[in-house]
Structure 1
């Protein structure tokens, strides 16, 4: 991770997009300093519509769930807007009005063919290195959710559990547990 600091403020990868009007309907992220725009897939949309409200209801004001919202990571080369991010209770926005990586309790990403390498490799390493406690990869192509926990400084997670769609996705957050029903997630026939 490369960071730049000016007057005590770490620059965000998102700074390059300040003042830029981005097209609607596209997800924008920054990987290795490259701006990547991808349309949201129908499967991704279906999962977010199913999971987001379940998480929000269970948080009941003790934290916040965001979808496709810019998060400031400690790097000028990496800017991610997770499919779903669970923000810790009491977390505050920075001077840019955004939450930072250390405010996140969990990140859920829905894999598509175009984001597969990024979700399974680059985001996995970045989220672990930033000590995001839980990283869930939801994969409609094989009907599974893989929960990664116990991040290490090596940019890996020590624990991994895979659950099939139809079983409950349990997110053990700090002092509470969120249960996401996966029966309504889109399933691959293959």
Structure 2
């Protein structure tokens, strides 16, 4: 996947990930893009530098498939490696499912991000209009899971002491039928 990204071989508007040995290529919906944009704006408004917040950038997971989360927040001293970062530098990840009850976001990513100690994993689901915020990572996932309806504030404090506040009132919704 790294080679594809470096050669620019990924079609515009698509997100490509290798997951469990399969190449997953999905176009990003407008709802995904708008939600990620709203979250990124809120994270930067919380005082986190632009250089530490990005979307669809490759994150390396030693011994496992790499990932390109919808939005990633990295630590102050995160070291860029060409066009990627190590999962060890990741403080928080946000994903926006591309389909209802997306197994990748709700099962496999929960296990992977928890196992690698990513402190916060947030799923902003336009189908259920709910934000799921996970914390207290452990070997099989997360010890704490909080569901917050769209329209309410999501707040968490990173390991750096920085407080992130995300208003969800502008998050777009999407019909589970694909509309």
TM over 0.5: yes
**1:181 lines up with 2:167 in the alignment:** yes
Is the counterpart of residue 123 in structure 1 residue 97 in structure 2? Answer: no
Q: Which runs of 5+ in 1 are unaligned?
A: 1-13
1:70 to 51, 54, 58: 58
Distance 1:189 1:104, change over 3 A: same
Pair 1:98-2:87 in alignment? no
> Which one has a bigger Cα radius of gyration?
1
CA contact (8 A) 1:56 1:64 kept: no
The whole-number CA distance in structure 1 between the counterparts of 2:120 and 2:8 is 32
Q: Please report the TM-score for the alignment, with normalisation by the length of structure 2.
A: 0.88
Structure 1 stretches of 4+ with a deviation exceeding 6 A read: none
Residues 131 and 41 of structure 1: CA distance in aligned 2, closer, same or farther (over 3 Å) = same
CA pair 20-52 structure 1, distance change in 2 beyond 3 A: closer
Distance 1:102 1:69 in 2: 15
Match of 1:84 among 49, 71, 82: 71
Deviations 1:92-142 (A, max 9, x none): 123x44211011100000012178110011111110111101011111111
Q: For the structure 1 residues 29 and 59, does the alpha-carbon distance in structure 2 shift closer, same or farther, using more than 3 Å as the test? A: farther
- For structure 2, the 5+ residue unaligned runs are none
Aligned length: 174
Q: Secondary structure at the match of 1:99?
A: strand
Contact 2:155 2:163 in 1 (8 A): yes
Q: 1:61 to 1:188 in 2, by over 3 A?
A: closer
Q: Which residue of 145, 156, 161 maps to 1:171?
A: 156
Aligned to 1:45: 33
